[in-house]
Chains A and B, each alone.
Chain A
Amino acid sequence: SAVISQKPSRDICQRGTSLTIQCQVDSQVTMMFWYRQQPGQSLTLIATANQGSEATYESGFVIDKFPISRPNLTFSTLTVSNMSPEDSSIYLCSVEERPAATYTGELFFGEGSRLTVL
């Protein structure tokens, strides 16, 4: 099973600034996703991070606000740009391995990065 490390685990940011969250996986994975969880809410998919190409964003999320990079099969970053208090959330990285012989479709999640925007 994949082990995911996210940095930072939490941060307090000022309005108008940007913050980059890192997701490091201990193995090469096929799929990487970024989710947002607003206070008291369920998880919402922001985008699929594609290795070597632009991320695929879900409705309501745009690249200018949430630029994503995925330079290789073990690492991705999510930037929250020009932050406002409404961006205060937990941001979670998720990965899926796809070994053909033992595929289960299980997604692994990081512990999340808790952002508070003042």
Chain B
Amino acid sequence: DAKTTQPTSMDCAEGRAANLPCNHSTISGNEYVYWYRQIHSQGPQYIIHGLKNNETNEMASLIITEDRKSSTLILPHATLRDTAVYYCIVRVASPSNFGNEKLTFGTGTRLTIIP
């Protein structure tokens, strides 16, 4: 899997949009960008993923640059419960693919929401 680079930590005011950047300059054409978060003392939780188009779900939006070398996770209205470590991961994802399916975690970004 390609490696990713994320800032170590970020702060965001409660109610504001939290924008978490991720660089993945060596991403391959068949690799997706996945975002997970880990709230203290819990297992990681899937947030969103995308290939090259921007994606939005009930939790967040994912903006992927046209060259796919970087992306931004956006939490539109951050709450205190969004305080967590956020992981950006690139991964081949196909139901028939075996051998490249493992999820490799980097160090992530520790996001702190400030009241």
**Chain A residues close to B by CB (< 8 Å):** 4, 31, 33, 35, 42-45, 48, 58, 92, 94, 96, 98-100, 103-112
Subset of 20 A-B contacts with CB under 8 Å = A31-B101, A42-B87, A42-B107, A42-B108, A43-B44, A44-B105, A45-B104, A96-B101, A98-B95, A105-B32, A105-B34, A105-B49, A105-B94, A106-B46, A107-B44, A107-B46, A107-B103, A108-B46, A111-B42, A112-B41
The answer to whether B102 touches A109, judged by C-beta atoms less than 8 angstroms apart, is: no
The answer to whether A111 touches B43, judged by C-beta atoms less than 8 angstroms apart, is: yes
How many chain B residues have a CB neighbour from A under 8 Å?
A: 25
Bound Cα distance from A106 to B89, whole angstroms: 12
Dominant SS at the B interface?
loop
Residues of A within 8 A of B91 (CB): 105
The answer, yes or no, to whether B106 is at the interface (CB within 8 Å) is: yes
The answer, yes or no, to whether B93 is at the interface (CB within 8 Å) is: yes
Bound Cα distance from A108 to B104, whole angstroms: 14
Among the listed A42, A108, A111, which residue makes an inter-chain contact with B105, where contact means beta carbons less than 8 Å apart?
Answer: A42
- List 4 tightest A-B contacts by C-beta distance, closest first: A105-B93, A109-B43, A103-B95, A98-B95
The answer to whether B95 touches A109, judged by C-beta atoms less than 8 angstroms apart, is: no
Bound Cα distance from A45 to B32, whole angstroms: 19
Bound Cα distance from A41 to B39, whole angstroms: 13
Given contacts A105-B49, A110-B43, 4 further A-B contacts (CB under 8 A): A33-B103, A43-B44, A48-B101, A107-B103
